[in-house]
Amino acid sequence: MTDPIADYLTRLRNAIRANHKVVEIPASNLKKEITKVLFDKGFILNYKFQDGEHSQGIIKIALKYNPETKESAITTLERISTPGLRQYANTGSMPRVMNGLGVAILSTSKGVITDKEARTLNVGGEVLCYVY
């Protein structure tokens, strides 16, 4: 697999379109950190990391829906930096997703954080994806 983050986002996107409650995704450390950021920002209901005996383990993510309209908390997941074309941002060129309503997830020297946290910590990094 050449782009595991794109696979992660596609699995989430497909589960949301199919109105699944839970999605299972093969785990990696970067995917675990992205999952924690999505949970902290309220885009997913819950998550659980399960270690596999011989494999890398799986991440079980409980998706969040509005009980009245049955709409997902995540409307768009967009991959920005790809293995063929990496996208980096410094503090001056930090992206604002939907004028601050969405979240850009970055991989920085301080870990995987959002664009707002990167601005307050005054660090730049690789822009992994946009979520809104």
Residue 89 confidence (pLDDT) = 97
User: CATH assignment of 75-129?
Assistant: 3.30.1490.10
Domains in the chain: boundaries: 2-61, 75-129
Q: Of 107, 108, 99, 91, give the one whose Cα is nearest residue 132.
A: 99
Residues 3-31 have a mean pLDDT of: 96
* pLDDT score of 1: 82
Return the bridge partners of 103, or none.
131
Mean pLDDT for 17-40 is: 96
- At 54-93, the pLDDT tens digits run 788 999 999 999 999 999 999 999 999 999 999 999 999 9
Mean pLDDT of 124-132: 97
pLDDT at 52: 78
pLDDT at 9 over 80: yes
> What is the CATH architecture assignment of 2-61?
2-Layer Sandwich (3.30)
Q: What is the pLDDT of residue 78?
A: 97
What is the pTM for the complete model shown? 0.94
The full 3-state SS of the chain, as one line of letters, equals CCCHHHHHHHHHHHHHHCCCCEEEEECCHHHHHHHHHHHHCCCEEEEEEECCCCCCCEEEEEECECCCCCCECCCCEEECCCCCCCCEECCCCCCCHHHHCCEEEEEECCEEEEHHHHHHHCCCEEEEEEEC
pLDDT digits (tens, 9 = 90+) for 17-28: 999 999 999 999
